[in-house]
Amino acid sequence: MSNYLRYGTGRETVGTFTQRKEYFENLMETRISVSDFLLGFRLLHDAPPEYGNEFTGVRKRYLEFKRDNLYLRAGDSYSLYARGLALNLFENRGLAHDTGIDGIKFEYKTRILKVSATGGTINYTDVLDLSRIEEYKIRAGSVELAPYQSFSVGANFVSGKFSPPNAIFETQFDIPELFGRVQFGNIDAFASYADRRTGGAHTGNGFYGSVAYTDESYGVSLEYKDYRFGSAGPYDRITPNRVDKAYAFQNAPIVHKEHSFTLLTRYPHVIDFNDEVGYQLDAFYTLSERLTGSVNASAASRHYSYAQTGDTTVVFTPEYGTIGRKGSFLPSFAVEYSPFWELYADVQYFIDEGVNDYVLVGFNRRSDVINEYSNVFGQDAAAKATRTTAIPAAAQVTVMGGFVAKATAERQWVYEASNSAQVDFYNQLISLSISRSPTYSVTFRYEFTSDHGTIDGRRNWTAVDLGFRFSDKHNITLTMGGDRGGLVCANGVCRVVNPFLGVRASILSYL
């Protein structure tokens, strides 16, 4: 049994208004095991929650049976088929994202055969609009055959009905997927292809592939995505209830780097699972026993551009037609395709062998353009570009008595075309922490910007984080100060976090 209590109080800026913000969340996970059976449930009190809708009661209740190669579960569950092109059910409470299914789940595994099936109902709450709930009734199955440890091939199939909010009729969909993996020496390759039919007609497809080579002193991997689950013009793209789109339970690899440095997570690229093609090259290397480094490069764009046809719709707005291009299987860097590219590199030097003390310096360059097209719903909108250059640095050293001191400094230069106050500015972040594992830690964070157009009107934010473990079963954290907020993304799921100034506390207990 575990219990996670979170509380926060302070001031939050929403748009142009600052208001009081308070949340109280308590999540108790309970598991009762008897022989081959496991009963689990979650007692949840989100009243009010930090993000999401209020709820008090029992959530995520399930009953499991597991013996030898057989696994059965009734109730709430999550599943991942292959790399998620057809089915990827997961929860991220920090972003108020949950695509868990309420139904049944079955798995049977041997060394050469894996069979899975799941079915039930998904009630998905849109993280960008909490009043919007999409309902999916699905049946899904997966078969994977591995005659050799170095080779496997399989197929997935997801079928069901989709009901957007206030819909009169349900939409039938089918998503078959084929995938395979092969390993040869130091080379590991994977590929999957999913096709979608909605109402009996072909409405989209997606492909993902990766190949990696790993040696003793270096490794390199290449990923490629070609997602066409809902390519559409400017009007249809922003229509939430359209049925020819990537569904909430589909969450394929994003194929670009997710950073750990704070400023590098600012202004993230928001992947479009409906219409995006791109690739990512990632490499790491060891130059000596103490010196290592990594390089990452990625690029993406939409497949097609659109132009006005000269015709108008029934509400007298211009119609758009697709402009085809050769080589749509590769990203384009032309503005009309909303191109994105990023380059990251770092070098890390370990001070002593066998010790985690190090110095790291990195470099990041990123460009992201969103083409909104002109005269959409009567508004004249041009392409909006965001370009950043950043130099992050970090150092960690062990001092007397087992204390570990860590310092982080990040500098970021930004060009943001959509910023009405100023388009050129810089951000600076400094973080200092000292800890003694596993008992306690203290971290001081200070962020400054020259941007006069921030959401809350502030130009600096200071916060102190305290962590204390007073037994093997209880951890307490306390944060005092301000958070800048902004767009936050994880695994392709994004939401806006509002600026906050106040106190946050949490207690994690294992009972």
pLDDT in tens, 163-217: 988 878 899 999 999 999 999 999 999 999 999 999 888 889 999 999 999 998 9
Greater confidence (171 vs 470) lies with 171
For the record, the structure tokens of 125 come out as 């709450």
For the record, the structure tokens of 366 come out as 């990123």
- Residue 353's pLDDT is what? 72
**Averaged pLDDT, 364-374:** 87
- Residue 374's pLDDT is what? 59
Closest CA to 85 of 206, 260, 174: 206
pLDDT surpasses 90 at 248 = yes
What is the C-alpha R_g of the chain?
Answer: 25
Greater confidence (377 vs 39) lies with 39
**Which element (helix H / strand E) includes 236?**
helix 234-237
Burial class (CB in 10 A: 0-12, 13-18, 19+), 250: buried
Distance CA 483, CA 465 (A): 12
pLDDT surpasses 90 at 461 = yes
Distance CA 300, CA 370 (A): 12
| DSSP-based helix, strand, coil % in the chain, nearest 5 | 5, 65, 30
**Which element (helix H / strand E) includes 444?**
strand 440-449
- Residue 467's pLDDT is what? 95
Bridge partners of 445, per DSSP, are: 431, 463
**Per-residue pLDDT reduced to its tens digit, 45-80:** 999 999 989 999 999 999 999 999 999 999 999 999
- Considering the domain boundaries, does residue 143 fall inside one? no
- Residue 324's pLDDT is what? 76
**Per-residue pLDDT reduced to its tens digit, 415-432:** 999 888 899 999 999 999
> In this predicted structure, which of 59-73, 361-375, 451-465 has the lowest mean pLDDT?
361-375
- Residue 224's pLDDT is what? 98
Distance CA 337, CA 327 (A): 13
Instruction: Give the Cβ contact number of residue 33 at 10 Å.
Output: 10
- The amino acid at residue 61 is R
Percent above pLDDT 70 for the chain: 97
C-beta separation of 177 from 82 below 8 A: yes
Per-residue pLDDT band for 382 (boundaries 50, 70, 90) equals low
- The mean pLDDT of the chain is 92
Residue that is written with structure tokens 């083409």 in the block: 371
Per-residue pLDDT band for 232 (boundaries 50, 70, 90) equals confident
- Residue 476's pLDDT is what? 95
For the record, the structure tokens of 218 come out as 């270096």
Distance CA 407, CA 434 (A): 9
- Considering the domain boundaries, does residue 284 fall inside one? no
Per-residue pLDDT band for 323 (boundaries 50, 70, 90) equals confident
Segments forming the whole domain that contains residue 3:
1-53+454-511
**Per-residue pLDDT reduced to its tens digit, 446-456:** 999 999 989 88
| CA 135 to mean position of chain CA atoms | 21
Q: What is the DSSP string of 395-414?
A: EEEE-GGG-EEEEEEEEEEE
pLDDT surpasses 70 at 375 = no
For the record, the structure tokens of 371 come out as 């083409």
Mapped to the 3 state alphabet, what secondary structure does 53-95 carry?
Answer: CCEEEEEEEEEEEEECCEEEEEEEECCECCCCCCCECCEEHHH
Per-residue pLDDT band for 356 (boundaries 50, 70, 90) equals confident
- Considering the domain boundaries, does residue 151 fall inside one? no
Distance CA 71, CA 73 (A): 7
- Considering the domain boundaries, does residue 2 fall inside one? yes
**Averaged pLDDT, 294-307:** 93
| CA 429 to mean position of chain CA atoms | 23
Burial class (CB in 10 A: 0-12, 13-18, 19+), 507: middle
**Averaged pLDDT, 278-284:** 98
- Considering the domain boundaries, does residue 81 fall inside one? no
Angle at 371 between CA 275 and CA 459, to 5 degrees: 110
Q: Is pTM, for the whole model, over 0.75? A: yes
- The amino acid at residue 367 is S
| Total tally of structural domains belonging to the chain | 1
Distance CA 372, CA 375 (A): 9
- Residue 308's pLDDT is what? 79
pLDDT surpasses 60 at 381 = no
- The amino acid at residue 269 is H
Instruction: Give the Cβ contact number of residue 311 at 10 Å.
Output: 9
**Which element (helix H / strand E) includes 279?**
strand 276-286
- Considering the domain boundaries, does residue 28 fall inside one? yes
- Considering the domain boundaries, does residue 272 fall inside one? no
C-beta separation of 71 from 106 below 8 A: yes
Would you give the DSSP letter of residue 499?
P
Greater confidence (6 vs 316) lies with 6
**Averaged pLDDT, 150-174:** 93
- Considering the domain boundaries, does residue 351 fall inside one? no
pLDDT surpasses 60 at 297 = yes
pLDDT surpasses 70 at 354 = no
Percent above pLDDT 90 for the chain: 76
Per-residue pLDDT band for 378 (boundaries 50, 70, 90) equals very low
pLDDT surpasses 70 at 93 = yes
